Structure 1
Amino acid sequence: MFSKSKCFVGGQIWSQTTRRITKWLKEVKSSTIRETQLQPTCSSPVYCYGPLLHTVQTAEPKLFKDSKTFVDMRMIHSQSETLDTFNKLMEKTEGKPSHEELKQFVNKNFESGNELENATLSDWKENPKFLEKIKDPVLRQFASDLNQIWPGLARQIRPHVIENPTQYSIEPVPNKFVVPGGRFMEPYYWDSYWIISGLLICEMPDTARGVIENFLWFVEKYGFVPNGGRVYYAERSQPPLLASMVDLYIKYTNDTKWLKDNIDTLEKELKYWLNVHTVDVNGNTLLRYYAPSAGPRPESYREDLETAKGNQALYTELKSGAESGWDFSSRWFADTDGSLNSIQVTNIVPVDLNAFYCGAVEHISNFYSILGNDKKSAEWKNIRDEFRESIYKVLWSEEDGIWFDVNITTGEKRKQFYPSNVSPLWTKCIGQNQNMVEVGDRVAKYVSQSDMFYYPGGIPTSSNRAGEQWDFPNAWPPLQGIMVEGLANSESQMAQQLSFNLTERWVRSNLRGFRDTNEMFEKYDCEVPGRYGGGGEYVVQSGFGWTNGVILEMLNAHGDELTADED
């Protein structure tokens, strides 16, 4: 694999050897967190930690219905002046300002907006060519309507933010970007994979490249891509799909010069995940979500205080759950019939995280091959092979014909249904001795025998009605996309038929919702086609970036055979 030389990665020594990953990457982070060992979420004493944030976010009654509202506001004055005004208020009131005094302080020192402006997408086209492949006129119009949404989701940073960054929580990324929608008015990491996929289908490579370059900018700044484009997200990442985004872009443009210019930054992110997120399970190296930093999430400050009640280990679990993108789900509970305060994300090896990473390593190996660097290509290919085998040995259930999450402490598989169980097919990261057709048949049998597959509004996120938004009955677009493409990748006829059946149901369900509301939503109700989902810490949001991208993928792949209505 690697030679015994060492290279410096992320401020730590990354040992390279010729044996298993577990021989050269032994450090496993402890799940027991002590607050004194941790840094705040970020350096801002307004947006990330401190008395001002705590006082505003815990006001009784609430100053804002949504905790994210306050930390997305800009400071009207400088940070030092804002803190000085707050300190004087606290001195005057002996640390107990009235609700009205606190409200006046916020109104005089903070305001919403004025950080972003609508952006013009120079490569947007009224009629991209893929529309011609869609035979059904209703679906063709649906696709055209989705294409019309992109300009409305395009944003760019105002110059004042770049000149006065400490007065804002928004990160001053250099390029235009496409937001998910609703309350999410900044770039988000894993959302953007499907946004980029949709942009490229709509022939917008310049916009897609700009979105990717913003994430590369984050890697250069932090060593990884944060959850989203706010300073308070700087303590955690999200599912590592940056290399997969680049793969989409390179396949569309064949821009090898751009790839050569950015390959080092891509590699830096992949090394970050190896350095920070690895765990050993019975001699096999895999990844977990792990986001330790002191205190509650600033954007969910009050909610985290109510859940964790000062327990730092639980704050870490909540942040790690947010890093997973599944915030929150009974998937992460110690007992799936439990509640949020039993969350144990850091003690679980997730199927999807490891499949995503395995796919990313495959991509970077291919990128180096394209660039003629056979040595680096072989190094990353060996890592890919290690992950393929670890996923097979630890997560694959020969008895059930599917992959399952695994409890790190016990090594036991958590045998619940989640669409994420299929992700190794999406990234084609099966065991080296497994056959894609045979594995596809096994997975198709597992999926087809589950009641979860047949709901009219899509596949639910879990079988558990726990009240969390990543649970039944919510059906999330990226999980439908992973299931559809994963089954199609398997080369199994049975799996491909299931893939098409789900594609048909999901497209018709989204179309029904769009006809009823003229909106696309971040999640849907699997029991009622077209109805938006619910649960969680905030109301359902519309827009919506990844929803549009997934539907465009499906229409692009099957537009010649899909119909809007049942025969």
Structure 2
Amino acid sequence: MVSLAALVQLACLLRAASVLAQESTASPTLTLSTAIPSATAPTSSELPSQVSVPPKQAWCPSEIFCPGELLQTVNIAHLFPDDKTFADKPTSKSSQEVLAAFRNITNDTTYGQIIDFVEQNFGGEGRELEALTVPDFDPNPSFLQNVTNPLVQAWSKIVHGYWTQLIRGTNSSNLCGSDSECESSLIPLNHTFVVPGGRFREQYYWDSFWIVEGLLESQLYSVVNSTLQNFMDELDTIGFIPNGGRIYYLDRSQPPLFIQMLDRYVKVTGDRSILDRALPLAEKELTWWHDNRSLNVTSPFTNQTHLVYHYSVNNSAPRPESYLTDYMTANDPDAPTLNDTQKADLYAELASGAETGWDYTMRWFKDGANDGSLRNLGIRDLVAVDLNSILYRNHIALADLYGSSNDQADTHRSAAADLHTAVLDLMWDNDKLAFYDFNLATNKRKNFFSTANFYPVWSGIIPDALLQDSKAAFGHFASVNLVLSRYNGTFPTTFVNSGQQWDGPNTWAPHQYIILQALRALPANVSSGNPPSTEDGQSSWDLIPSGQLGMEENQLPPQPSNTGNITNTGPNADINVGNGTVVNGGNATSGEGWSVMLQRELANRYITSAFCSWVATGGSIEGMVPRLSPELLNITQSVNNTGNMFEKFSAFDVDSAGRGGEYTVQAGFGWTNGLVMWIASNYGNMLNAPECPLITLEDAQTSSASLNASPVMWTVAIAMAITALL
């Protein structure tokens, strides 16, 4: 019997599925959305009382879209499920008229008054953007020839076509400016760009790295060039590349991958003419990170002092795109009261979390803080493994772009060498064979394992232990072997299920790419041998170095099963192992080596996750993959969908998207599509047709009796349970 608590949880999943049904990727044109404000209380009711407005932020000058009385009042009314909706609505009148209308609202403000105010003074979110066609779009790019499986090839071609749905430009006819009769939060861009999708209507910084990887495989070189030109425009005018293309992102950046996008573009196209403009601006970006995000740390291990980097945003107000969420975190009536200084520190931590790209994860929590509250963030005290690895790789890439006989190239090689030393000294644990963030508050490494572990090797920071010993090299990647043997999906960001979207069981495209590239970076002398074998009674857990994951085996989340008989300990936990390979892992080949084995399996598993969730939400391929019946698509609320490409997936269930976090899971989706292109191009001869555990009505009946059912099946179960109750 399904418990009431389970019904509540599953009802939330059903609602999320319903929202996803509205996020279809089928239409090739941009439909301007206009979310209609709706009250969460009777329209005649007064708004809840609110705390004092936070200090005005120097980086955000707008009285409408930046922290202030207007933004706070509208968010207190909670007219939209997503705070970002209002922040993206341009005004339909001049700023002065809008502010005057707001001041005319009585002191006893009601929900109805705020609804009327928004309806009368604001337009549809996203109207300043327009869908664009790409004249050089080729429906049959050459990378498709690398894909030997007909089904995977046909699907990859469909995903390649999704670029035409995500390409945008600034709509000058609807653009607000200083002399305009409207105001907008948009940062206008001069060139074409690709949006991630869903609520992410603008160009985003680190998303664009994986979008660019896909665009290069799709031979859309002009769009890549335009993307880089937009970033260079921002470096030229703003001084750094913000998180995304809205003014409310001007307090922060994101993982700094512009130089690596530039390097990839030049290497693939041979177009070095872009460097005349790009190289000085690349220097400008590195200077910004040095001046605003660097610090000196003296190692407790070697007593050496290193220049390293951390995420640290100067901000003392809620993020405008997540205003109510941040406001409630700081003013939670069920939590201890914070003073103004404590609130300012919390708001800075929340913004710093957004700058990391990983917003949020237990990785960022202060040591010993396990209650799940975002009040426990301690991001600014962490020297992040991934950030310092990225900056190391930036220096190497920039040196290569300058050429060998160049003084500036030598400067960057020297800076890279210093970061190489720092990362190995502060963050490498030779006993656990893993990298961990360095905690400034405790002056030691943080014992929390995440996919950040793989960034140094991807970047070229490979410890001697991994270069000299195949067993040690495998030990560094043993958790990948565990996931592929024990779970149905791809590699989770962490092994902690906190409810935050950058924790398990959620898996993300960027991290699968990082792991694959890290495996490719290993030299053949340590990666070409057979994987270590387990003795009778052992499992994939026994191959992981002691203490590496920071938990015991029985603390690992078990793979959910309809039968309910799967354990998360012992050899029986490796449910996917058989005949020398894993489920949805491709076909093993003789003598391929353990690194290639893991790459083959992970590449296949990623394609499976993206493909199967696409089919479960209405995707079909004529003559190959039939569309699910209306009855089944109704279960996933996808009757009008033609397949969703999700921003994140589940390590447990290749039929579903990920979950958790501040907003409904988004469909689109730029970096997901980009990694499909990259994997199809680089692993096309290893990819098999995915085996999807497709939804059936019989499965629905079975799943209703088990709380271990997969998330998609949970949705099925709750639909049936509610119907029965009614």
Q: Give the TM-score normalised by the residue count of structure 2.
A: 0.70
Q: Does 1:522 align with 2:540?
A: no
Tell me the equivalent position of 1:4.
none
Change over 3 Å in CA distance of 1:439–1:72 after alignment to 2: farther
Aligned residues: 523
In the alignment, structure 2 segments of 5+ residues that lack a partner are 1-52, 299-304, 332-339, 529-593, 618-642, 693-726
Q: Partner of 2:129 in structure 1?
A: 116
Query: Is 1:268 the counterpart of 2:284 in the alignment?
Result: yes
The question of whether the paired residues in 2 share the 8 Å contact of 1:40 and 1:49 is answered with: no
- 1:321 aligned partner: 353
Matching residue of 1:551:
676
Give the one of 466, 471, 474 matched to 1:444.
474
Determine if the alignment matches structure 1 residue 286 to structure 2 residue 308. Answer: yes
Matches within 5 A, 1:481-496: 481-491=513-523, 492-493=527-528, 494-496=594-596
Q: Sort the Cα spacing of 1:336 and 1:542 in 2 relative to 1 into closer, same or farther, 3 A.
A: farther
* Equivalent residue, structure 1, for 2:141: 128
222-231 or 454-463: which moved more?
454-463
1:173 aligned residue: 189
Q: Is the 8 A contact 2:435 2:453 kept in 1?
A: yes
Work out the CA distance in 1 between the residues paired with 2:173 and 2:203. Answer: 18
Specify the code of the residue in structure 2 equivalent to 1:287.
Y
Query: Which residue in the other structure is 2:512 paired with?
Result: 480
**Kindly, what percent of the aligned residue pairs are identical?**
33
Alignment partner of 2:245: what SS?
coil
| Equivalent in the alignment of 2:321 | 299
- Work out whether residues 649 and 657 of structure 2, in 8 Å CA contact, stay in contact via their aligned partners in 1: yes
- How far apart are 1:511 and its partner, in Å? 1.6
Q: Is the 8 A contact 2:399 2:413 kept in 1?
A: yes
Change in CA separation of 1:556 and 1:440 when aligned onto 2, cut-off 3 Å: farther
Instruction: Note the 1:25-36 alignment, pairs <5 A.
Output: none
Q: 1:486 to 1:543 in 2, by over 3 A?
A: same
CA offset digits 1:330-355 (Å, max 9, x no partner) = 11011362321101110111111111
* Residues 1:52 and 2:152 are matched in the alignment: no
- The equivalent residue for 2:397 is 363
Q: For the structure 1 residues 78 and 439, does the alpha-carbon distance in structure 2 shift closer, same or farther, using more than 3 Å as the test?
A: farther
Task: State the AA in 2 paired with 1:47.
Answer: F
Q: CA deviation at 1:81?
A: 1.7
Deviation string, structure 1 residues 1-52 (Cα, Å, up to 9, x no partner): xxxxxxxxxxxxxxxxxxxxxxxxxxxxxxxxxx999834411111112211
Q: Does 1:243 align with 2:259?
A: yes
Shift of 1:399: 0.8
How far 1:500 moved relative to its partner? 2.2
State whether residues 76 and 109 of structure 1, in contact with CA within 8 Å, keep that contact through their aligned partners in structure 2: yes
The aligned counterpart of 1:507 is: 607
- 1:462 correspondence with 2:480: no
Q: Deviations over 1:520-550 (max 9, x none)?
A: 1000011011310100111110111001111
Tell whether the 8 Å contact from 1:294 to 1:312 is kept in structure 2 after alignment.
Answer: yes
Name the SS for the 1:58 alignment partner. Answer: helix
Confirm or deny: 8 A CA contact 1:38 1:293 kept in the other structure: no
- Structure 1 residues 386 and 218: CA distance shift in structure 2, 3 A: same
Secondary structure of 2:685 counterpart: coil
How many Å apart are 1:164 and its aligned residue? 2.1
Name the CA distance, whole Å, in 1 between partners of 2:270 and 2:381: 40
- Asked if residue 100 in structure 1 is aligned to residue 225 in structure 2, the reply is no
1:204 aligns with 2:220: yes
Deviations 1:149-192 (A, max 9, x none): 00000111111455526611111010011000111110010000
Q: Does 1:403 align with 2:528?
A: no
Amino acid at match of 2:245: G
The answer (yes or no) to whether the contact 2:466–2:472 under 8 Å persists in 1 is: no
Q: CA deviation at 1:448?
A: 1.6
- The equivalent of 2:247 in structure 1 is 231
- 1:24 alignment partner in structure 2: none
Question: Within 2, Cα distance between the matches of 1:247 and 1:522?
Answer: 25
**Structure 1 residues 531 and 440 mapped into 2: Cα distance closer, same or farther (>3 Å)?**
farther
Q: C-alpha distance in 2, partners of 1:437/1:145?
A: 40
1:541 to 649, 663, 666: 666
Structure 1 gap ranges (5+):
1-34
Q: Does the 8 A contact of 1:407 with 1:413 survive in 2? A: yes
Do residues 69 (structure 1) and 85 (structure 2) align?
Answer: yes
Compute the RMSD of aligned alpha carbons: 2.0
How far has the Cα of 1:449 moved from its partner?
Answer: 4.9
Pick aligned residue for 2:270 from 233, 254, 257? 254
The one-letter amino acid paired with 2:345 is: A
436-445 or 529-538: bigger deviation: 436-445
Larger Rg, first or second structure (1 or 2): 2
SS across alignment from 2:680 = helix
Q: CA deviation at 1:397?
A: 0.8
- SS of match in other structure, 1:74: coil
Check 1:232–1:77 CA distance in 2 against 1; reply closer, same or farther (3 A cut).
Answer: same
Which structure has more helix as a fraction of its residues? 1
- d(CA) in 1 for partners of 2:417, 2:186: 39
Contact 2:91–2:98 (Cα < 8 Å) also in 1: yes
Q: Could you tell me how far apart the structure 1 residues matched to 2:322 and 2:468 are?
A: 45
**AA at the equivalent of 1:531:** S
Match of 2:161 among 148, 154, 163: 148
- Which deviations, in whole Å up to 9, do the C-alpha atoms of 1:382-401 show, x marking residues without a partner? 00110111011111111111
Q: 2:206 aligns with which of 172, 186, 190?
A: 190
SS in 2 for 1:46: coil
CA offset digits 1:299-358 (Å, max 9, x no partner): 000000111235100000000000000001111011362321101110111111111111
Match of 2:358, SS state, is coil
- Decide whether aligned partners of structure 1 residues 549 and 383 sit closer, same or farther in structure 2, where only a CA change above 3 A counts: same
1:173, 1:214 within 8 Å by CA — same for their partners in 2? yes
Maintained 8 Å contact 1:457/1:530: no
Counterpart-to-counterpart distance in 2, 1:397 and 1:386: 18
1:560 and 2:685 are equivalent in the alignment: yes
Aligned equivalents of 1:441 and 1:388: distance in 2? 23
Q: How far did residue 258 of structure 1 move?
A: 1.2
Instruction: Provide the secondary structure at the position in 1 that maps to 2:168.
Output: strand
- C-alpha distance in structure 2 between counterparts of 1:566 and 1:147, whole Å: 21
Going from structure 1 to structure 2, the CA distance change for 1:422 and 1:488 (only over 3 Å counts) comes to same
Q: 1:209 to 1:385 in 2, by over 3 A?
A: same
Q: Alpha-carbon deviation of 1:560?
A: 1.5
* Residue aligning to 1:18: none
Aligned equivalent of 2:172, options 152, 159, 175: 159
For 1:363, give the aligned amino acid.
A
CA distance in 1, matches of 2:504, 2:217: 31
Q: 1:107 to 1:220 in 2, by over 3 A?
A: same
d(CA) in 1 for partners of 2:289, 2:251: 13
Tell me how far apart the structure 1 counterparts of residues 655 and 237 of structure 2 sit (CA, whole Å).
40
Counterpart check, 1:428 vs 2:460: yes
Deviations 1:45-70 (A, max 9, x none): 111122111110112xx211111000
Q: 1:87 to 1:565 in 2, by over 3 A?
A: closer
* 1:296 to partner: Cα distance: 0.5
Secondary structure of 1:135 counterpart: coil
Distance change (3 Å), C-alpha of 1:439 and 1:320: farther
Write the letter of the residue equivalent to 1:499: Q
